[in-house]
A and B are shown apart, each in its own frame.
Chain A
Amino acid sequence: MKVRIHVSLKPGVLDPQGRAVHHALEGLGFSGVEDVRIGRLVELDVADGTTDEALDEMCRKLLANMVIENYSIEKLENA
């Protein structure tokens, strides 16, 4: 089973990288971009039957830093 873990900065945590990219987009002439936040995508290929609890634990223990990041888990059942 393929699983996508989306890791993003918590709201309120300053994202200097996102801000720099935002400036760059404006510099390229793209108007109407309100905000840019940069995160991370982790793709896992796990054994069928891997529990949600186990995936949660992977995120909390390693894949995300819960001080500054949130995560969401997207299961791609048929992938």
Chain B
Amino acid sequence: MRAAVITFPGSNCDRDMAVAIERISGKAPLRVWHGDASLPESLDFIALPGGFSYGDYLRCGAMAANSPIMRAIIDAAGKGVPLLGVCNGFQVLAESGLLPGALMRNAGQTFICRTVKLKVENATSMFTSRHDAGQVIDIPVAHHDGNYFADSETLDRLEGDGRVAFRYAENCNGSQRDIAGILNAGGNVLGMMPHPERAVDAAHGGTDGVALFESVFESLSVA
């Protein structure tokens, strides 16, 4: 399995993401810098980590979405390479147009940093197959701008097509329809505000994030 973690200036969860991938897949991911114009050959999995890429200038994720490496990532996603964006990574995916909608300032105006309960809405995707539908898991959030917004048509389409992967069991940030994570139409791109890579070690408070990585890596070994 060849995985890559992308680092933008201001990313701060890239190492956590790399540690989680190595722990669960047994192989350390490649590390890719945002200024690179191309990705390593034949990648099986790409992760966009959390953080504050480009200092959140203009809008969260807006600058990263236009960085050189994103052209290669959009290309890879179009070819079906599994792509996970967590927190700032989700914001980058939304800004780049790989996922619909936008992440706005939390409704309560405050930065939220705590473990929340997430409901697994779709347990058939390549990212969630090791979960049961309706399962409630504990995953940390740490964001100021996680308030998911899309127009009602888009929301209806996401729900109708089973593209809502996770919902907040209790809405912590004002997200429309409690949405915490969504899939693209092809099912190979997942963006989510909560941090599964921070929930892979019991010593750090829980291991409910492991199943997501296991799901993706299992889908790769089957494919």
**A interface residue numbers (CB < 8 A to B):** 13-14, 16-17, 20, 61-63, 65, 67-68
Interfacial chain A residues near B147, Cβ < 8 Å:
16
Let me know if A63 and B58 touch, CB within 8 A.
yes
In the bound complex, do residue A65 and residue B109 qualify as a contact, i.e. CB atoms below 8 Å apart? no
Which 3 pairs across A and B sit closest by C-beta, in order of nearness? Answer: A67-B102, A68-B102, A16-B107
Taken together as a complex, chains A and B put the C-alpha atoms of A61 and B70 apart, in Å, by 14
Whether B95 is near chain A, meaning CB under 8 Å from some CB there, is yes
Write 12 A-B pairs (CB below 8 A) sorted by A numbering: A13-B149, A14-B104, A14-B149, A16-B147, A16-B174, A20-B109, A61-B66, A63-B58, A65-B59, A67-B101, A67-B149, A67-B150
A72 and B95 CA atoms in complex are apart in Å by 20
Which chain B residue lies CB-closest to A63?
Answer: B58
B66/A65 in contact, CB under 8 A = no
Known: A14-B174, A16-B147. 9 other contacts (CB 8 A): A13-B104, A16-B108, A16-B174, A17-B105, A62-B62, A67-B102, A67-B151, A68-B102, A68-B149
Q: Considering only CB atoms and an 8 Å cut-off, how many residues of chain B contact the other chain?
A: 20
- Is the contact region of chain B dominated by helix, strand, or loop, or is it mixed? loop
B124 to chain A, nearest CB (A): 27
**Which A residues touch B94, using CB under 8 A?**
67
* Cβ A65 vs Cβ B95 within 8 A: yes
**A45, chain B: closest CB distance, angstroms:** 17
B62 adjacent to A16 (CB under 8 Å): no
Residue of B nearest to A17 (CB): B105
A13 to B106, CA, bound (A): 13
Given contacts A62-B58, A62-B66, contact A16 B105 (CB under 8 A): yes
A63 to B62, CA, bound (A): 9
Q: Which residues of B contact A62 (CB under 8 A)?
A: 58, 62, 66
**Chain B positions 66 through 102: 1 when the CB is less than 8 Å from some CB of chain A, otherwise 0:** 1000000000000000000000000000110000111
The residue in chain A whose Cβ has the minimal distance to the Cβ of B149 is A68
Given the interface pairs A16-B106, A16-B108, the reply to whether A65 lies near B174 with Cβ below 8 Å is no
